[in-house]
């Protein structure tokens, strides 16, 4: 591993450590959001472009560094900007941040992983090259794995960057809207978990299954 990669890993580690040591996480809680909602709404009323830019910037950093707080940020988007605009801003921030995490992982570890496990990953890479968008949509829609793990794991594979970007952007819109819409009615939420009801999760799972229908069809067509 060259010096540039080592320096980058050190910088990321320092940034993540600073987040936890400084206590910044206390501002990414539902209690903090409720306590500061009026202030944030007032700031947005007087400084619209600056608030949108600042929000997207915070979301990008949070996602790129795989820090906790994504659900709170999505709720905040709805509470400050409204359900539809908030969804747009949250999706932009999350997609850009996820893409940065994907690129960082690919730059830092992709070559090493492919060199050591390339033979074992051959089937996975082949599937991702032919139907990567469908698989990614499934993973984004069905909450089987944490969002940040998908970002990091995808960076270790041969999934094309364009596919990752498009699949992430489209796949997180439904969930983003649910959280932003809930954030617009912030007073009715006791915990972030209240948003993801079993019915909502089941709806996302159904959408995820639909995204794999073309893959199943191709496999059945080939075997027939």
Total of domains in the chain: 1
> What does the pLDDT look like over 63-122, one tens digit per residue?
999 999 999 999 999 999 999 999 999 999 999 999 999 999 999 998 888 788 767 778
* Close Cβ partners of 190 (under 8 Å, ≥ 6 residues apart): 30
Closest CA to 208 of 171, 159, 173, 180: 171
- Mean pLDDT calculated for residue range 52-73: 96
Q: Which helix (H) or strand (E) holds 101?
A: helix 83-105
- Mean pLDDT calculated for residue range 9-36: 93
Query: Against a cut of 0.75, is the pTM above it?
Result: yes
Given a cut of 80, whether residue 3 has pLDDT beyond it is yes
Nearest 10 degrees: CA dihedral of 156, 160, 161, 167? Answer: -100
CA atoms within 13 A on the CB side of 21: 6
Residue 212's pLDDT band (boundaries 50, 70, 90)?
confident
> What does the pLDDT look like over 114-163, one tens digit per residue?
788 767 778 887 888 888 999 999 999 987 889 999 999 999 988 999 99
Question: What range does the domain containing 66 cover?
Answer: 3-223
> What does the pLDDT look like over 104-117, one tens digit per residue?
999 999 888 878 87
* Close Cβ partners of 186 (under 8 Å, ≥ 6 residues apart): 33, 34, 37, 75, 78, 79
Contact call for residues 141 and 204 (beta carbons, < 8 A): yes
Token couple for 60: 């990008």
Closest CA to 207 of 115, 143, 159: 143
Largest CA distance in the chain: 63
Rounded Cα distance between 21 and 23, Å, is 6
Q: Terminus-to-terminus CA distance in the chain, angstroms?
A: 47
């Amino acid at each position: 591993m060259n010096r540039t990669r080592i320096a980058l890993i050190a910088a990321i580690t320092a940034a993540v450590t600073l987040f936890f040591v400084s206590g910044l996480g206390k501002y990414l809680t539902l209690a903090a959001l409720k306590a500061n909602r009026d202030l944030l709404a007032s700031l947005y009323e007087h400084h619209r472009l600056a608030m949108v830019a600042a929000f997207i910037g915070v979301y990008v950093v949070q996602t790129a560094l795989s820090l906790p707080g994504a659900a709170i940020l999505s709720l905040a988007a709805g509470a400050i900007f409204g359900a539809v605009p908030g969804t747009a801003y949250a999706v932009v921030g999350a997609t850009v941040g996820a893409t940065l995490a994907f690129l960082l992982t690919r730059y830092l570890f992709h070559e090493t992983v492919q060199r050591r496990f390339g033979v074992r990953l051959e089937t996975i890479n082949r599937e991702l090259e032919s139907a990567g968008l469908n698989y990614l949509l499934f993973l984004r829609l069905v909450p089987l794995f944490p969002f940040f793990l998908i970002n990091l794991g995808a960076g270790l594979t041969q999934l094309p960057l364009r596919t990752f970007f498009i699949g992430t952007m489209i796949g997180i819109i439904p969930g983003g809207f649910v959280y932003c819409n809930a954030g617009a009615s912030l007073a009715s939420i006791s915990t972030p978990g209240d948003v993801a009801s079993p019915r909502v999760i089941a709806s996302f799972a159904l959408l995820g299954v639909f995204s794999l229908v073309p893959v199943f069809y191709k496999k059945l067509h080939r075997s027939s």
